[in-house]
Structure 1
Amino acid sequence: MNDWSWVVLGLGGLSLVGLLWAEWQNRRAARALFKSLCSLGFLLFALSLGLDSLFARLIFVGLLLSAVGDVLLLFGSSRAFLAGLGAFLLAHLAYLGAFVQVGAPSLGGLLLVLAMGYGWLRWLWPHLGGWKAPVLAYGVVISLMLWAGLGTAQSEIWLGALLFYLSDLFVARQRFVVQQPLNPLLGLPLYYAAQYLLAWAAR
């Protein structure tokens, strides 16, 4: 990494601390500011490392779509949440396209992802109401992304994919099951760790 990468990484870490504080204190304006800075951070981090291959550019597309999703989720309305869900779904398709270039999904990985998917779907299903179809579609795509990520040898890819997957469980819990400060306080560090790992993989 170069000096610029370290600066961006440090600012991203400080922004995450600010975001967690804003979530804990329920400061909406500060939450919007720090979340935007966190998402801008992983974009700048990826750019600082270079985008010299199709793999890296697809990763950046995934990061960019994720940043769009982050902004949309700030609004809190059902329409904004659905749009954010769509942005993240497209992000996972971009990641999927990147991962299959550098790995080979395995049967063992598929069985693990199917077991995890069955678990979260059984947990969430009674709480989804009219959201069953979009959440199911999103779940299929993020599961495919995770399966492809687990099939790579690069630890930053499969770990990033797994952390992203786990972070979304806290988003779902916050949206559909119970709203608690614990959800973002646990989910956000997982999410941003995932995005910075995937940005690092694109170097």
Structure 2
Amino acid sequence: MMTAAMLVAGAGAVIALIYQARVNDDVSTLRSVMKTAPVALFSLAALLSGAPWLLALGLALGAVGDFALSRKGEAAFMAGLGSFALAHLAYAVVFVTVEGRLAPFDLTALRWVGFAALVIMAQSTVFWLLPHTGGMKRPVAAYVAIITAMGLAALHLPAAQGVAMLGAGLFVASDLVLSVELFRMEEDSPATRVASHLVWPLYWVGQGLILVGIAWA
């Protein structure tokens, strides 16, 4: 089953790489399928490998969020926000319940750097993000709190799961860039296209590393 799981995850990674060229395409069924498939396949790989069911659920919720954000409109955005919030909560539970394993390296310094970065990011959103979110201020603030909690939970992972810790950091970074793109950039700004091309690899690689770090470390 492990070989099958790796093949499924590999297929997801290939689709993610292909989708990179389509991140700024107009909304279409094909684009939505390609955006949703990678993390959906990661979720299936988690199930095939016997990983914690909450990991598979978190990845599945991420895929739902991907589909929602591939569509247009505030309702789709809110659905995506809610799906990703639930995914972060699932990951947080997984991270704090992973059994410790021996590893030939120490991550103490990285943990402190990560802690400081998360606290600064969360607190600073009061100034650079929330005032620009309009009627979505409360749900966005709640999402910031949830993703910060997920990141802090990841910092408690055993050193042997350092890959998953890195994945969680990339996931947070992708949301950080996405928030700047959505709420601080003009819709027709050339910078939004650059941001989109940055968000996608940060996101799917982060999800893949969480899968690898928890299921296969």
| TM-score bracket for the superposition, by shorter chain length | 0.7 to 0.9
The runs of 5 or more residues in structure 1 that have no matched partner are none
Deviations 1:4-37 (A, max 9, x none): 2342233222211221111245474442121122
CA distance in 2, matches of 1:85, 1:187: 15
Say which structure, 1 or 2, has more relative contact order (CA 8 Å, 6+ apart).
1
| Deviates further, 166-175 or 136-145 | 166-175
2:43 maps to a residue whose letter is L
SS at match of 1:151: coil
Percent identity reads 36
Query: Which residue in 2 is equivalent to 1:14?
Result: 14
Query: Which residue in 2 is equivalent to 1:69?
Result: 65
Deviations 1:30-59 (A, max 9, x none): 4212112212221122123223xxxx1111
1:139 maps to a residue whose letter is V
Identify the match of residue 163 of structure 1 among 143, 159, 170: 170
Aligned positions, number: 198
Query: Which residue in 2 is equivalent to 1:38?
Result: 38
Identify the match of residue 116 of structure 1 among 118, 121, 126: 121
TM-score for both structures, normalised by structure 1: 0.86
Q: Work out whether residues 9 and 41 of structure 2, in 8 Å CA contact, stay in contact via their aligned partners in 1.
A: yes
1:187 maps to a residue whose letter is V
Deviations 1:81-138 (A, max 9, x none): 112111111111111111111389x994544321122234432133211111111000
SS at match of 1:181: helix
| Deviates further, 115-124 or 25-34 | 25-34
Identify the match of residue 188 of structure 1 among 200, 207, 212: 200
Deviations 1:142-186 (A, max 9, x none): 001001101212112211110110011122123212241112211
2:174 maps to a residue whose letter is S
TM-score for both structures, normalised by structure 2: 0.81
The runs of 5 or more residues in structure 2 that have no matched partner are 101-107
Runs of 4+ in 1 over 4 A off after TM superposition: 24-27
